[in-house]
Amino acid sequence: MQGKIALEEHFALEDTLADLDKRLSGADTWSDTRRRLLDTRDIRLAEMDKNGIELVILSHTAPGIQEILDVKEAIELSMRANDLLAEEIALHPDRFAGFAALPMQDPDAAITELTRCIKDLGFKGALVNGFTQKDVADSVIYYDLPEYRPFWAALEEFDLPFYMHPRTIIAERAQAYEGHPWLYSSAWGFSVEASIHSLRLIGSGLFDDHPKLQIILGHLGERIPFDMWRLDHRIKRQPSGYTRPHPMSYYLKNNFHMTTSGNFYGPAFEFTVNEMGVERMMFSVDYPFEDTTEGATWFDEMEMPKDMRLKIGRTNAVELFKLELK
């Protein structure tokens, strides 16, 4: 399919690669992945052309700004990352759009930077790499806390989505992974973190207060679709303090969208579409951590009606992000 739009596609600043350098330097593929994170114009555009991807919405890679303990540094680095992204978009505005990187360590500063990115830089929403650390390494801050309500209100006013991207749990809280490092990050831990965070947002009443908010989850929904029935079933039988007026599946089907990023498996895709509906699904690759050709070929060759492929591959994103494409 020509004209696909992808929206979990990453870039990096040299300054924010320390965590990935430490965790991935032993992997055979890391040097190539690192080179691709720092490249926007050459390798990336060629791969987009080769695989029928018209436009990507670029975002700063995980954990990025969210691992910076010093609030002032987080604010400054998020501005640098967003300014660099805006410069790259300006060179190829027909091929690139942007998600804001935000200093969630300070909710007011996050609102200020979100506003600048959308109003001045023309970005299409925000992608945040999961929970934020602040002041001390052993800190995990989720955005269901009351101090983040003004941030969510501001985002709702812009009527643009928030991409909840996963990150690896910090080492001080990773006891369950001890001796099993293969589970620690993207193979398993990513989905654990992103799904817990998303369900916390629902449980906090965020979408009752701000019903227009739209959240995006990658990797076919971070495994949540497969447990929606059980979430509703068990909470109904044992509420344990859940007081929302609707079951969790209601919010998932009205306030969440899911992408194919990094989960190129037909049966899982079909199940997720059946649970969420075609209008809630979008194509993505997760470049450069995944291979563009693999993700695009899988999507293009999978059996589905032509109108469904067009919606998931392109038009759902055009509508959600208010894209003006030829």
Spatial distance between the Cα atoms of 44 and 51, rounded to a whole number of angstroms = 11
- Alpha carbon 324 to its chain centroid, in Å, reads 22
Q: Which of 319, 267, 289 is nearest to 12 (CA)?
A: 289
The owner of tokens 């001890």 is: 178
CA 69/CA 172 separation, integer angstroms? 15
Classify 99 as helix, strand or coil. Answer: coil
Q: Is the separation of the CB atoms in 126 and 22 below 8 Å?
A: no
CA distance 197 to 169: 12
The DSSP letter of residue 186 is T
Q: Where are the beta strands (DSSP E) in the chain?
A: 4-11, 53-60, 96-98, 126-129, 132-134, 136-141, 162-165, 215-217, 256-259, 281-282
Q: How far apart are CA 228 and CA 61, in angstroms?
A: 28
Based on DSSP, count helices (H) and strands (E) in the chain, helices before strands.
15, 10
Work out the number of other CB atoms within 10 angstroms of the CB of residue 308.
Answer: 13
Catalytic option among 108, 286, 291, 300: 286
Q: Residue 286 catalytic?
A: yes
Known catalytic residues are 286
